[in-house]
Amino acid sequence: MSNFGTNINPSDISVSVETEYLDKQSTPDESQFAFAYHITITNNSDYGIVLLHRHWIIIDANEQRQEVKGAGVIGEQPLIPTNAQFKYSSGTVLNTPIGTMQGSYQMVDEFGSPVEVPIAPFLLALPNQVH
């Protein structure tokens, strides 16, 4: 097969995020605030895609920045067929009760053409911290 016509628009891949504060895994007295994030990746393109790498930027309320880069997500490099979803959950620990995450996924379509999908900033916060 040729690479003709395999250019996927990153807007054809949607990423939605839900977050949750993990009270039982947090120790506020030691400035350890644990959060889970639940990701749904939806492939609305005409081609299957493979998620090869992730890049996260995590910033807490003290503007302490962490960068996380790695292969795949949760130990997988999933193939996401056209008109399908992939869901996973992961987590992070902040030194403050509020912070943000953002990043990108590096993917390839079924022909090997690269696609970078941005992940918009989202909030990590204890309940009732932000109004």
Let me know if residue 53 belongs to a domain: yes
Note whether residue 30 is domain-resident.
yes
Task: List the CATH number of the domain containing 30.
Answer: 2.60.40.1470
Reported confidence tier of residue 127, pLDDT bands at 50, 70, 90: confident
Element (H, E) at 115: strand 114-125
Assess if residue 131 is contained within a domain. no
* 85-105 pLDDT, tens digit each: 999 999 999 999 999 999 999
Tell me, what's the pLDDT at 130? 64
1 falls within a domain: no
Closest Cα to residue 54, out of 36, 64, 32, 39?
A: 39
pLDDT average, residue stretch 19-31: 96
Is residue 130 situated within a structural domain?
no
For the segment 15-28, the average pLDDT, to the nearest whole number, is 97
Give the total number of structural domains in the chain: 1
User: Domain for residue 80, yes or no?
Assistant: yes
Segments forming the whole domain that contains residue 60: 10-124
pLDDT level of residue 6 (50, 70, 90 thresholds): low
Residue type, 105: Y
Cβ–Cβ under 8 Å, residues 84 and 44: no
Q: State the DSSP code for 73.
A: B
Which of the two residues, 118 and 111, has the higher pLDDT score?
Answer: 118
Predicted TM-score (pTM) of the model is 0.89
